Amino acid sequence: MPTKRAHLEADNASAAGASSAEIEPYSTYLAAHEALVSLRAVHTESEILEAGQRALLTVRTSDPLPSAVRQVAVRLAALLCAHPATDSVAMVAGLALALTAAEPSVRCEIYQALGTLYEVKGIFATVAIPDDARSTLDVAILSDLNHSKHHLRSAALALLPIVRPHGHRAEPNAVFNTICSYAADAHPKVRQAALGAILRQHMMGAALPVEMYDECVVATKDDFEQVRLVAIELIWAISSAFPEYPVTIEKYDTAETIRLLDDAFVKLCDMVNDSSVIVRQRACAILGRYRDVKHSFLSQTFSKQIMSNLRRFVPRGPRGKSNKGRGHHSGPPKSSIPTPQGDAEVDSDEFRLLDSGAAGAFVHGLEDEYQEVRDAAIESITELSIGSTEFAAKAVDFLVDMFNDSSDRVRLCAIRALVAIGDRSLIKLTEEQLSIALSAMKDACRTVRESIYAFLAVSVVAQPEALTKLMAAMKSSLDKYPDDQMPIYRALMALGLSHSNVINTAFVRALLGISEHYLSREARIDDTVYAGNVILLMNTDLPTRHELATILPDYVFSHLPYLRDKYRGCFPQDIVQSVPSELGFVRQMLEQPRDDPAIAQISLDDRQRRQSSALANIRSVLSLVSDREELRDGEDAERTWQIETAALLVRRIGEFEHSLGNAATVQQADSVAVEYARVIELVLLVQSRAVAMLRRQEHIDLASKIMLGLYKIEARSVGLDPSCRLAVVYLRLFAHAAWLHAHSMARYDTRLAERMLAEFALRAKRTEQLLRDRFVLPSELADLVQCHTESTDPQPATDQPEETDGSILAFIAKFKPLVFSPLGRCQLVSANCSKTAVARRPVEFNHVFPLHLSLTASLAWVAHRSKIVVMVTMPTNEVIALRPPPSALKPLAPLHWLLSWDAIPVSLPLSSGESTAIGLTIALKHTVDVPWSDSFIVKGTMVPDTYRIESYYTAAGDLSRRHICIPIADSNLSIGVNPVEFKPPPSSFTRI
């Protein structure tokens, strides 16, 4: 039985008048608000239809009503559009046609509602609206762009790229040019909305004109903080697109041309001195993205004094300074007061090429009072040091000074930055730098200490005395922190290899206490300090070991087999050659094969080369799958090819993961491509088993993994180009088909089976509309849509399911994924939770009172903060999604947020008295395409045979099914909780 639809013909005045006789609009704000609240829990179709008609009638009626009533009616209409029983196209058309006579506040509410419907149901993107409604909406938006109220101009600017997306055939650049014209609006909110829309258009594929660079530079001086934030993002985007574009700097009748890339770098360096901490933090973060900046500008960032290469000579007077004769004074006498050494000389014959420029930018960033700015400066220094050896050498001294920072987080960030620099080339430490590093080894935080060991592993000292001092500090750490044994041993391995020229016989005698005249007492084999000394000596190069063998006692070599087997991976593979030939029994023991041989270390360049090769192999397999032709040898050959290709993809992905080391970096676009390859491997497995998929839970699991992986790719990717998004949408249709094919429709109620097939047909139709504009329509999709379109015609009920199942099976067998090649601007949504905010001791709680937890995290590339949720995993494994309050989210930069939630409410049940743990993680609420079906697919469950059509309508109206939570944090935080019994304090009236 087909469901009713709310056919609201907005352009038919007579129909509106007839409906008003039976259904009246909301007359008061209280009535409309009560309907908005109550309908969130009501799922009957008749009430939904009636409320939708009343809401639309309230918006469009000519009766005098307060604007607040119409605003609530617009919100109610937007809420009802998401219900499957409502004709969302007619509702949107009614809202669009109501713009003509609506008040400014109501029009602003309509624009925001249409933007919400674009995200929820894909209006304007996948669902087309009537031409008259679209034309009315276009005229209203263009008219409101010039309205006197700034909030209306901002709402219209936000909706304009949605109604007319970038790349529209009729006007490919008109929308972009229109938005750019409002970047200099009189109101800061409009300027922010315009620049933010330009940035989002660029992330979706629009090309930024180089002429816009000057406007963005002017915007960096804007009084409004959010405008400056978006402006620096646009400066980086334009300079990345046109790095070699010449920029002429004119000053004092002198002109010089530099590259746009260098000029943009200097402009962003100047933003490090901004009055806003958020702008300073974002400017420091963006500086690390630049590559190929001239060394003169990079070096200037570590010096507050203007270097000579950034000064130019300016002659004084019309004939120059040299024409002044002795005793001739052409102007006032020069002041006899000496200029301080750190100040600029105003009367100097030189001027700075770029005003304040990059002078001391990173020095200011590292000395900033806010740790967020210091963190961002350290991260950018690390990125720039990877591309410039000279810059890295200057950065070491400043980063070592950060070991004394008051923040654990900043100290750890500085240490890891030095480790990344040392992986490229060893760091030569001075005596002062070594003292600072050794003092940091006494830190109470184990993570900081282990990072210091890793930093010392990539450092070198020039004198044996300095190495002796370092070994004494290592001995103290072993005695004080026994748990640090293996990190210290790994550091000693690297120190031995890099200090072969420093370790001599005198150093070894002092280290091991070997006398030149007396026999040495044999050391204890279980002494951890002695084992560390042996690891240091045995990891030197082979000539040094041969030289040391003349003074080392025999017991050192006899201990080697035991130490090698106990501390796996701490000795070189050629350790046998270090043993003198007289000790043949020791050589024989060392030559025996081990179960876990040490893996040879490879250089960073080799690792990155392997990584690039693995990525190229993955892309070649994906191209082979997308461009393959149907084999002529039959289904068995096709099935064999699918299984072999899936196994090949698994091997290629394994090679890529193996190529990733601690120092290897991977572009985020490449990570997205690898995740897509994992999904394709599952698709090939489903195709190879398509014939035997009926009523198999393992195939339901495969469809669930495909669907969940695709939603993760779409939710966690920002800047994914439209062709890649369409490839993901097309694959979700495949996952839906695989899940539906695993069901036997004959087991279900006829109306329920019709609804299940209708949802799949609707998804197929939407996918076809999307692909038709950008791709050549795949033949298997065209056949599928045609079959399901014909299946809506009256046919015998017994024949229709068989034909539908056959079309789905044919679609699965012939399916070929689209080309997926994300661009370099693609960014991954991420969240970094601060572990220092988690209580180190278990939190005591009583089940009578709610428990309040705290969480601090930085989020990157999150477009909508309303989608951020905190997932709480209870001791019973129940997962609860909590939305943080608006006050807990602070914008750091465009699409970057700081989450600081000090009171996360958690209600724990009555405990058994044992300590347990609660998990916290950050996720994004992502809207699904087909709420009812996708809720089953993502969970990996089948529709029960006893499921009734009434349950379908109730579940289809459930708001919780319209979103899924995609975790974005790299790791979960675990907080220990300890139940305690509540005992009220005794009073004077209490009997004891």
Angle, nearest 10°, between helix axes 668-688 and 800-814?
Answer: 130
Do both 531 and 613 map to the same domain? no
374 pLDDT band, cuts 50/70/90, is very high
Burial of 804: CB neighbours in 10 Å, binned 0-12, 13-18, 19+: buried
Do both 634 and 570 map to the same domain? no
966 pLDDT band, cuts 50/70/90, is very high
List of E strands, 438-516: 459-460
Residue 35 has pLDDT above 80, yes or no: no
Q: What is the mean pLDDT of residues 195-218?
A: 83
Do both 908 and 862 map to the same domain? yes
Question: Residue 389's pLDDT is what?
Answer: 86
Question: Residue 924's pLDDT is what?
Answer: 93
Do both 809 and 834 map to the same domain? no
Asked if the structure places residue 628 within a domain, the reply is yes
Residue 111 has pLDDT above 80, yes or no: yes
Pull the structure tokens for residue 391.
Answer: 């810059």
* Tally of domains within the chain: 4
617 pLDDT band, cuts 50/70/90, is confident
Question: Residue 730's pLDDT is what?
Answer: 93
Question: Residue 343's pLDDT is what?
Answer: 43
How many CB atoms are located within 10 Å of the residue 735 CB?
A: 26
- DSSP character at residue 969: B
Burial of 919: CB neighbours in 10 Å, binned 0-12, 13-18, 19+: middle
> How far is 271 from 362, CA to CA, in rounded Å?
11
Of 330-334, 378-382, 698-702, least confident by mean pLDDT is 330-334
- Spatial contact of 166 and 185, defined as CB atoms under 8 Å apart: no
Do both 969 and 856 map to the same domain? yes
Angle, nearest 10°, between helix axes 277-287 and 371-387?
Answer: 10
Q: Which residues pair with 898 in a beta bridge?
A: 858, 890
> How far is 732 from 734, CA to CA, in rounded Å?
5
Phi-psi region of 352 (alpha: psi -120 to 50; beta: other; left: phi over 0): beta
Last residue in a domain, options 782, 814, 846: 814
Q: What angle do CA 464, 465, 471 make, to 5 degrees?
A: 85
Task: Give the DSSP letter string of 349-398.
Answer: SEEETTTTTTTTHHHHHHT-SSHHHHHHHHHHHHHHHHH-HHHHHHHHHH
Integer CA distances (angstroms), 474 to 436, 468, 487, 532, in order = 14, 10, 11, 9
Asked if the structure places residue 185 within a domain, the reply is no
- Higher-confidence residue of 783 and 350: namely 783
Within 8 A by CB and 6+ apart from 177, the residues are: none
Residue 805 has pLDDT above 70, yes or no: no
Asked if the structure places residue 55 within a domain, the reply is no
> How far is 445 from 403, CA to CA, in rounded Å?
13
Asked if the structure places residue 62 within a domain, the reply is no
- Spatial contact of 560 and 571, defined as CB atoms under 8 Å apart: yes
Short-list 974, 856, 848, CA closest to 916:
974
Question: Residue 851's pLDDT is what?
Answer: 79
Task: Give the DSSP letter string of 116-155.
Answer: HHHHHH-BTTTB---HHHHHHHHHHHHHHTT-S-HHHHHH
Within 8 A by CB and 6+ apart from 382, the residues are: 288, 416, 417, 420, 421
Predicted TM-score (pTM) of this structure: 0.61
Do both 851 and 941 map to the same domain? yes
Question: Residue 663's pLDDT is what?
Answer: 42
Task: Give the DSSP letter string of 6-21.
Answer: ----TT-HHHHHHHHH
Do both 936 and 914 map to the same domain? yes
Q: 174-179: long-range contacts at Cβ-Cβ below 8 A with a sequence spacing of 24 or more? A: 175/201, 176/201, 176/206, 178/142, 178/145
> How far is 632 from 549, CA to CA, in rounded Å?
70
Side-by-side strand order, sheet with 896-906: 830-833, 851-860, 896-906, 889-893
963 pLDDT band, cuts 50/70/90, is confident
Pull the structure tokens for residue 858.
Answer: 């930085």
Do both 674 and 570 map to the same domain? no
Do both 569 and 638 map to the same domain? no
Residue 322 has pLDDT above 80, yes or no: no
Residue type, 552: L
> Radius of gyration (Cα) for the chain, nearest Å?
35
> How far is 370 from 890, CA to CA, in rounded Å?
15
Do both 701 and 791 map to the same domain? yes
17 pLDDT band, cuts 50/70/90, is very low
Residue type, 142: L
Question: Residue 670's pLDDT is what?
Answer: 84
Integer CA distances (angstroms), 430 to 438, 457, 463, 987, in order = 12, 15, 10, 66
Question: Residue 43's pLDDT is what?
Answer: 56
CA dihedral (378, 380, 386, 392) positive or negative: negative
Residue 981 has pLDDT above 50, yes or no: yes
Q: What DSSP element (H or E) covers 858?
A: strand 851-860
> How far is 689 from 669, CA to CA, in rounded Å?
31
Q: What DSSP element (H or E) covers 55?
A: helix 45-60
Do both 581 and 616 map to the same domain? no
- Higher-confidence residue of 426 and 253: namely 426
Last residue in a domain, options 764, 790, 814: 814
Asked if the structure places residue 370 within a domain, the reply is yes
Q: What is the mean pLDDT of residues 175-197?
A: 84
Residue 168 has pLDDT above 60, yes or no: no
Q: What DSSP element (H or E) covers 967?
A: strand 963-967
Helices and strands: H and E segment counts in the chain = 39, 18
Residue 937 has pLDDT above 70, yes or no: yes
pLDDT tens-digit map of 557-568? 888 888 888 888
- Percent of the chain whose pLDDT exceeds 70: 80
- Spatial contact of 437 and 474, defined as CB atoms under 8 Å apart: no
Asked if the structure places residue 269 within a domain, the reply is yes
Report residue 824: phi and psi, to 5°: -70, -20
Residue whose token pair is 């056919």:
7
Q: Which residues pair with 827 in a beta bridge?
A: 718
Question: Residue 705's pLDDT is what?
Answer: 93
Short-list 959, 704, 947, 922, CA closest to 831:
922
Task: Give the DSSP letter string of 210-257.
Answer: GGGHHHHHHHTT-SSHHHHHHHHHHHHHHHHH-TT-EEEEEETTEEEE
Last residue in a domain, options 768, 783, 814: 814
> How far is 384 from 498, CA to CA, in rounded Å?
25
β-strand 843-845 against 973-979: which pairing, if any?
Answer: parallel
Q: What is the mean pLDDT of residues 153-177?
A: 70
Question: Residue 690's pLDDT is what?
Answer: 76
pLDDT tens-digit map of 815-870? 999 988 887 778 889 898 876 544 455 677 666 667 788 888 889 888 888 889 99
Question: Residue 252's pLDDT is what?
Answer: 55
Burial of 130: CB neighbours in 10 Å, binned 0-12, 13-18, 19+: middle
Question: Residue 984's pLDDT is what?
Answer: 52
Residue whose token pair is 């019709």:
754
Asked if the structure places residue 358 within a domain, the reply is yes
Do both 611 and 581 map to the same domain? no
Residue 665 has pLDDT above 90, yes or no: no
β-strand 427-428 against 459-460: which pairing, if any?
Answer: parallel
> How far is 895 from 914, CA to CA, in rounded Å?
42
Within 8 A by CB and 6+ apart from 636, the residues are: none
- Spatial contact of 905 and 674, defined as CB atoms under 8 Å apart: no
pLDDT tens-digit map of 877-917? 888 999 998 888 888 777 888 898 888 888 776 555 566 78
Residue 62 has pLDDT above 80, yes or no: no
Asked if the structure places residue 154 within a domain, the reply is no
Domain that residue 580 falls in: 461-590
The mean of the pLDDT values for the chain is: 79
β-strand 350-352 against 427-428: which pairing, if any?
Answer: unpaired
pLDDT tens-digit map of 747-760? 888 888 888 888 89
Question: Residue 42's pLDDT is what?
Answer: 53
Phi-psi region of 416 (alpha: psi -120 to 50; beta: other; left: phi over 0): alpha
Q: Give 774-791 as a 3 state SS string.
A: HCCCCHHHHHHHHHHHHC
Angle, nearest 10°, between helix axes 104-121 and 67-81?
Answer: 10
Within 8 A by CB and 6+ apart from 705, the residues are: 679, 682, 940
Q: What is the mean pLDDT of residues 162-170?
A: 58
